[in-house]
Structure 1
Amino acid sequence: MAEPALRFRSAGQHDLNALVNLEQRCFDADRLSKRSFRHQLQQDHNLFLVAERDAEVVGYVLVFLRRGTSLARLYSIAVAPEAHGLGLGRKLLTEAEQIAAERGRMFMRLEVRGDNQAAIRLYQTMGYRQFGRYPDYYEDHSDALRFHKRIIPRERVEEHLSDPEERVDYYAQTTEFTCGAASLLMAMHDLQEDVVCDQREELQIWREATTIFMTSGHGGCGPHGLAYAARKRGFQARVYVNQRGPLFMEGVRSESKKQILELVHQDFLDKLKEQGVPIEYGSLSLVRMHSLLEANALLLVLISTYRFDGRKAPHWVLLVDMDADFVYINDPDIDQDDAGSQLDKHYLPIPRASFEMMLHFGQNRLRCAVVVEAGSKP
């Protein structure tokens, strides 16, 4: 007698109870809750598929599709015990890869327990390569192994991502206003291993580099302040900015605040001159950025977050790598409600054309970057 046919379809709210039941039968720990399933079923930008056999849900796959990037992340996959031996896990993941590729994602990433040898073998036979480890990831404090695969083939696959020694370590900002400080910490730690990345140093850098005011809330860090903080700690720094005068002024209405911004800006200019930090008034091209990376520099780059979250907010990221198709960034901003968000923000691939559009901020199309290199004490 022939096996009942498998059918794949998008998950819906009517699958909620079946998904919860399947999760409980498949996993002893690190289960998705009913609340989590309900939330994910409401998201229209992710990929959520179920596998049916005889009108019963016997498997699912949930993939996050990050806005503004070429990255898909396998968040969870499950196969009912009675469906083992049918190759359903492979079929679900293959289906998810194909749909993610159709939606413009070129990379799939995932994490898996180091002792889950069956899953590791499956991923490896499907072309996934390990490129890192995330310590203390699961409820029982075991590590997660990180794998990735290019799901839209190219003649040249970037192999450097598979070598953990080549990667710039990740540090997440601990406040909403310290993206610049966190990005600088990552750069300095990569250039000098004894640099400690912690909240105390993050806040100290912010105090040294802040513009005091921005459009609302706490002031962020400007390129001049970040370059000063880097040089103060013994690193070579260079500022690239396409505007003269105080930055982030267009959203500030108070004259007293504008005067403070002007005073702080002039103070930074004086300090940079004293420290011998050059300022180049112009824009860095992607070609020039690539050549700086090849020369072992790292770049703090200001972007607009609009393509990520629909908000036109200035945000610092660390540019860590480039190839013919993509730029790779460490984005210090993580989703506190998503434990795996940090995995997505490390070596985040963005198409070069999309990144070029992110490099302009505000009506004045501000464009700025800070180049950081190893150096000696000033």
Structure 2
Amino acid sequence: MSLRTATGDDLDAIMALEQASFPTDAWSRTAMSAELASPHGRYLVDVEDDRVVGYGGVRSVRGADDADIQTIALEPSRRGTGRGRTLLRALIAEARDRGARELFLEVRADNPVAQALYVSEGFVEIARRPRYYQPDDVDAIIMQLNLRGEGGTDR
């Protein structure tokens, strides 16, 4: 497993994973391209044998108190191997390095595996957005991680 900063050259591979992972509500190519180019975020790719097998991104304006995990996705065959946790921890570290004190994310209510990962890293549910994910009518669970030290992870 090798993590590196994503570039525009990774867009095709990221979009293939995005569409495979989120078939009904994938981000558009335009939106993802803008995310990769934004100075307010950092996207990482997980590379194996010169091939992108996962990616994740955090939006964190330097000096702002809060940050957001934008997305994490892996090839199905790479799930459950610790790669998602490694990506998540790298994104948490990036938010902390940028000065964030709180980190937020949204996760589909029908994705208990992702929810369990986030809880195991210290995130707590703070709210729900009913029927947020369309067209599937699936709730979004909003989760928060305290990066101030107490109750937050220092991993």
Question: Do these two structures clear the TM 0.5 threshold for a shared fold by scoring above it?
Answer: yes
**Take 2:27 and 2:132, find their aligned partners in 1: how far apart are those partners?**
15
**Take 1:101 and 1:10, find their aligned partners in 2: how far apart are those partners?**
17
1:346-365 map, 5 Å:
none
Which of residues 141, 147, 151 in structure 1 aligns to 2:143?
Answer: 147
Corresponding letter in the other structure for 2:107: V
SS of corresponding position for 2:149 = coil
Q: Deviations over 1:326-371 (max 9, x none)?
A: xxxxxxxxxxxxxxxxxxxxxxxxxxxxxxxxxxxxxxxxxxxxxx
Name the structure 1 match of 2:2.
7
Q: Does 2:93 align with 1:62?
A: no
Q: 5+ residue gaps in structure 2?
A: none
Query: Which gives a bigger RCO, structure 1 or 2 (Cα 8 Å, sep 6+)?
Result: 2
8 Å contact from structure 2 (residues 63, 98) kept in 1: no
1:221-240 map, 5 Å:
none
Q: Which has the larger radius of gyration?
A: 1
- What's the offset of the Cα at 1:41? 1.4
Q: Does 2:81 align with 1:81?
A: no
TM-score (norm 1): 0.38
Q: 1:127/1:80 Cα in 2 relative to 1: closer, same or farther (>3 Å)?
A: same
Name the structure 1 match of 2:120.
125
Q: 5+ residue gaps in structure 1?
A: 1-5, 159-378
SS of corresponding position for 1:28 = coil
**Take 1:102 and 1:63, find their aligned partners in 2: how far apart are those partners?**
12
Q: Which has the higher strand share?
A: 2
TM-score (norm 2): 0.90
1:126-275 map, 5 Å:
126-139=121-134, 140-154=136-150
SS of corresponding position for 1:39 = helix
Name the structure 2 match of 1:72.
67
